[in-house]
Structure 1
């Protein structure tokens, strides 16, 4: 069995299938870990969801911010003015509604392998979390809120994205503020202020910004950053920059911007990529 890790797919079905063929992925024996953002931007989000659902026992995924938005739209009873035809196609597709309601919304924000010392989330692991139990508990809390019928915290979060909680406050947050921080940390984080609180707006690579009050989350000191291999997506501007420590691996290599879809073999310690056609 080989364990593979793949970056943000963003609806690029043909490239996904080509890359899996390139590595000879065997869904009966191998495992595929996915950093989230399965959908949006690319041409074939429906096919991606169909396919991943068909091999769901062979994959381990985390939800990304784009996945959460789709779940929100399907769970919400309000009518939204959606102009993106690709999203509208997803919302009109009865099989997609079934997949979201019966599978996707139950997926976690963190995946963990205790024996291999692996952690994966869409955006990374925030500096303010240095305890594995807190990370897994936070993921479970968010997953329960997103997947249950009365998920008002989740719906309110998407409806109030301008309201951002960026400080964990040593595990003292409760209620909506706690949920808000967990989602921000695990699905949207890139930079943090020097005290470790989240900065939610800057996207460029470290060499492309001139702000001494910010650091990428993985440049902070955190005992977990040394104990675990951490996989994440979400930050395509990092590609090829050599910014992360050796055991912190960013896999969003800009597929949706005409660059690469990338997979990493755990056993071979090797990257494989394929160019995406925009």
Structure 2
């Protein structure tokens, strides 16, 4: 059995199948860790979602901002955006089953034996692994529960910009969401800067990439979300898997046993 981790697929189904064939992935034997943004912007979001759902226990999926956006359109009454490629999912005869499956996915995956942690946008230095995992489970319960409609109706927004343990209700849920699925640049006190999407050199004054802050815990963090990095963080402890497939870059898959990264040009 081999565990593989893959970056943002974003509906690029053909490239997904091509890179899985390249590494000889078999769902009867292997497991695929998916770093979020399964769908949207690419040409085959419905096929991608159906395929990943069909893998069952052979996947460990975390939700990305595009995945949550689909749920917000389906459950929170938000209109699709101009560049979305979600209509084929929303119009599909099996869309209720697919939406339900997506709601049941995680915000983070932690493998303590291998000291691996995966979340779509990463792991802020202000949270320990245990705290991050606890907060993820808290928000997952909201997404899967009776408060889901309220959550998805009011999910969007940049405030509060800084985590506070005393936050409650929607402000708390939105803050957790933004750290797990939208974070790139962050200040020393944990304040997020959510407007800048360029690479490391574009850091606004007083902010740095989240992975440049030291961590006490020995943990390797897998993440997607930040295509402008082209997978380069300068550290083997922080592994960027989003190499911009949907933007004409590459789809990257990593063998978690050997550390080898394999790319499929897009």
Tell me whether the two structures share a fold, i.e. TM-score over 0.5.
yes
The alignment's TM-score, normalised by the length of structure 2, stands at 0.94
Contact 1:40 1:86 in 2 (8 A): yes
Q: C-alpha root-mean-square deviation of aligned residues, in Å?
A: 1.7
Deviation at 1:153, TM superposition (A): 4.3
The 5-angstrom pairing of residues 42-121 of structure 1 reads: 42-76=42-76, 78=77, 80=79, 83=82, 86-101=85-100, 103-121=101-119
> What's 1:253 paired with?
243
Change (3 A) 1:86 1:156: closer
> What's 1:139 paired with?
136
Cα offsets for 1:89-113 (capped at 9, x unmatched): 2111121321112x11011100111
Supply the distance in 2 between the matched residues of 1:272 and 1:79 (Cα, whole angstroms).
37
Contact 2:125 2:215 in 1 (8 A): yes
Deviation at 1:174, TM superposition (A): 1.8
- Name the SS of the counterpart of 1:86 in structure 2: coil
> What's 2:194 paired with?
200
> What's 2:214 paired with?
221
Cα offsets for 1:51-105 (capped at 9, x unmatched): 11111210001000000011121123x473655573222111121321112x110
- Name the SS of the counterpart of 1:111 in structure 2: strand
Uncovered stretches (5+) of structure 1, i.e. residues with no partner: none
1:172 aligned to which of 166, 170, 191 = 166
2:254 is the alignment partner of 1:264? yes
Contact 2:80 2:86 in 1 (8 A): no
> What's 1:8 paired with?
8
Change (3 A) 1:228 1:85: closer
- Name the SS of the counterpart of 2:89 in structure 1: helix
- Name the SS of the counterpart of 1:223 in structure 2: coil
Q: How many positions carry a matched residue from both structures?
A: 266
Deviation at 1:119, TM superposition (A): 0.4
1:150 aligned to which of 147, 150, 160 = 147
**Structure with greater helix percent:** 1
| Greater Cα offset, 172-181 or 60-69 | 172-181
The alignment's TM-score, normalised by the length of structure 1, stands at 0.90
> What's 1:125 paired with?
123
